[in-house]
């Protein structure tokens, strides 16, 4: 890397950055925090949550800091009024769409940006029942914020298993298997990568979920062991 450094200003601070790095990284190096939701260090950045948008002088729209690279002479504002309005509104819409009770980072973000969780009181929420179709993990899509991380790690970002993709589109989009098949009937290898990257508790180890439901560790041991043997089915749990 002998290329000359790029000079830019972020929130009035002069920053020297390596060419090709993102605004997000350059800001981090300069000690400026830009919030992110869908971004994950080990996943391909898709710039879809748009929480990391910043204002760049001369740009028509706001720019996603997680993918936009630094340019010489760039002037960046990470907390302008436009930026704050977008972040606040996105958070308010998220609150109106899904259950964020197990997403502490987003809750903190909402406080920082003054987002009102009740801004859209009559909104149609994505209310779905948890899917309990395998002995390893639970899929509770009422908590899913569609960050795509699980789909990505199941595919080229990690596992190359391709068990999950999407159903529907727009607001109706959901993470789904082939024709909504139960997980054991898919290519899933139960590696747990998806559970590891889920930021909102939508994917959760089954043991953790059962403990929350009030099961004792002994009961869980009994339950999951027999499930693995394929002797007991979902009905037993419900009973």
Of 125, 134, 135, whose CA–CA distance to 100 is shortest? 125
Residue 118 vs 129, nearer CB to another protein: 118
Q: Report yes or no: 199 and 103 within 8 Å, Cβ to Cβ.
A: yes
Any contact of residue 62 with another protein (CB under 8 A)? Answer: yes
Among 49, 70, 110, 183, binds another protein (CB under 8 A): 49
The site map against another protein for 188-217 (x = CB under 8 A) is ------------------------------
Any contact of residue 166 with another protein (CB under 8 A)? Answer: yes
**Distance from C-alpha of 144 to C-alpha of 173, rounded to nearest angstrom:** 10
Among 7, 28, 107, 187, binds another protein (CB under 8 A): 187
**Distance from C-alpha of 90 to C-alpha of 115, rounded to nearest angstrom:** 9
Residue 124 vs 218, nearer CB to another protein: 124
Among 172, 218, 231, 238, binds another protein (CB under 8 A): 172
Phi, psi of 51 (to 5 degrees): -70, -25
Any contact of residue 94 with another protein (CB under 8 A)? Answer: yes
Which residue spans within 90-238 are E strands per DSSP? 137-139, 165-167, 174-176, 203-205
Tell me the closest approach of the beta carbon of residue 95 to another protein, in angstroms. 10
Any contact of residue 77 with another protein (CB under 8 A)? Answer: no
Q: Report yes or no: 167 and 176 within 8 Å, Cβ to Cβ.
A: yes
The sign of the dihedral angle between the CA atoms of 48, 51, 56, 62 is positive
The site map against another protein for 115-134 (x = CB under 8 A) is ----xx-xxx----------
Of the ranges 19-27, 85-93, 202-210, 217-225, which one interacts with another protein (CB under 8 A)? 85-93
- How buried is residue 154: exposed, middle or buried, by Cβ count under 10 Å (0-12/13-18/19+)? buried
Residue 112 vs 211, nearer CB to another protein: 112
Output b/e per residue, 201-223; b: 16+ Cβ within 10 A.
bbbbebbebbeeeebeeeebeeb
Tell me the closest approach of the beta carbon of residue 219 to another protein, in angstroms. 33
Any contact of residue 58 with another protein (CB under 8 A)? Answer: no
Q: Report yes or no: 137 and 195 within 8 Å, Cβ to Cβ.
A: yes
Residues found near another protein in the complex (CB under 8 A):
46-51, 53, 61-62, 64, 67, 82, 85-86, 88-90, 92-94, 96-97, 119-120, 122-124, 146, 155, 162-173, 176-179, 186-187
């Amino acid at each position: 890397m002998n290329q000359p450094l790029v000079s830019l200003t972020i929130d009035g601070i002069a920053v020297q950055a390596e060419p090709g790095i993102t605004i997000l990284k350059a800001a981090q190096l300069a000690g400026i925090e830009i919030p992110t939701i869908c971004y994950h260090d080990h996943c391909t950045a898709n710039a879809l949550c748009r929480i990391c948008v910043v204002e760049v002088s001369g740009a028509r729209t706001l720019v996603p800091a997680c993918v936009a690279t630094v340019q010489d002479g760039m002037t960046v504002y990470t907390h302008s009024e436009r930026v704050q309005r977008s972040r606040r509104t996105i958070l308010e819409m998220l609150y109106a769409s899904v259950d964020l009770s197990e997403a502490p980072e987003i809750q903190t973000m909402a406080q920082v940006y003054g987002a009102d969780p009740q801004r859209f009181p009559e909104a149609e929420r994505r209310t779905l029942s948890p899917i309990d179709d395998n002995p390893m993990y639970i899929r509770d899509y009422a908590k899913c914020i569609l960050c795509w991380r699980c789909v990505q790690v199941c595919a080229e970002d990690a596992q190359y298993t391709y068990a999950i993709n999407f159903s529907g589109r727009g607001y109706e989009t959901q993470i789904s298997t082939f024709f909504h098949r139960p997980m054991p009937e898919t290519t899933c290898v139960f590696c747990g990568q998806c559970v590891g990257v889920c930021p909102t508790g939508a994917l959760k180890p089954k043991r953790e979920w059962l403990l929350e439901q009030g099961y004792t560790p002994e009961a869980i041991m009994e339950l999951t062991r027999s499930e693995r043997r394929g002797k007991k089915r979902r009905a037993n749990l419900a009973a």
